[in-house]
Structure 1
């Protein structure tokens, strides 16, 4: 895995057409504010697969829910799984478009929303190349 700077013409919504290596994009705030680490663990990969989104399609507040849930399960010695996580959270919109947010299921809210404002987070991103 290697991190690469993006060019002025790169956009997180661009696909991999013509690329020699597999890659995906990540926002800077994922690492600087949410402390996400690569490679993703099985839990994170499982949630991304179940909701069928790329890392940049999941809103930063939703990443905060993922991180908090993982830490909470570890602290309480609970087995964490993508299906267990999605018992407590639902997606908005229901079918992914460009963005997907996770919201608490009505009546079983266990985590408060991340209050940090993520304005302008789309301005800083880089490419993660899978080697």
Structure 2
């Protein structure tokens, strides 16, 4: 995390809470996103564009979606190409879990790039980190607005 952000481990708030009056901007991340998938803030253009195109807050995207995004980033790096949301999303369709309101990414037939490991992320929803922006910091490197709350 960059020094312009503060972290709080929250057990009394729900992931879909938004800011109250007088509160600064914040975003929730699942602990596994930081610990296991190396997701950091501010989000780079690729990550922010994926969230913007899907119209979801970071915690609305299931961790498997984040894992696919990170794997795609590594492949792009190895191929010396810049990761782009449009190229990544060309290979996926969205599925919404009606009970939980999570958005999952399902590979399109014949374009499956990576295997998913559903069992790895069991219990992820109970481990949240609240990331607060300090001093007017933006959550996206390109400073474009992006969805922060459900």
Task: Kindly report which structure 2 residues correspond to 1:1-16, keeping only aligned pairs within 5 A, or say none.
Answer: 1-16=4-19
- Counterpart position of 1:106: 109
Deviation at 1:17, TM superposition (A): 2.8
Distance 1:35 1:103 in 2: 21
Distance 1:48 1:81 in 2: 12
Contact 1:3 1:126 in 2 (8 A): no
Contact 1:34 1:63 in 2 (8 A): yes
Matched, 1:90 2:93: yes
Task: Kindly report which structure 2 residues correspond to 1:47-62, keeping only aligned pairs within 5 A, or say none.
Answer: 47-62=50-65
SS at match of 1:17: coil
Distance 2:31 2:14 in 1: 14
Distance 1:76 1:116 in 2: 30
Contact 1:62 1:102 in 2 (8 A): yes
Deviation at 1:116, TM superposition (A): 5.1
Matched, 1:33 2:36: yes
TM-score by length of 1: 0.88
TM-score by length of 2: 0.78
SS at match of 1:5: strand
Structure 2: tracts of 5 or more residues without a match: 135-150
Deviation at 1:7, TM superposition (A): 4.6
Distance 2:70 2:119 in 1: 14
Q: How many residues align?
A: 130
After superposition, the Cα gap between the structure-2 partners of 1:28 and 1:19, relative to the gap in structure 1 and judged at 3 Å, is farther
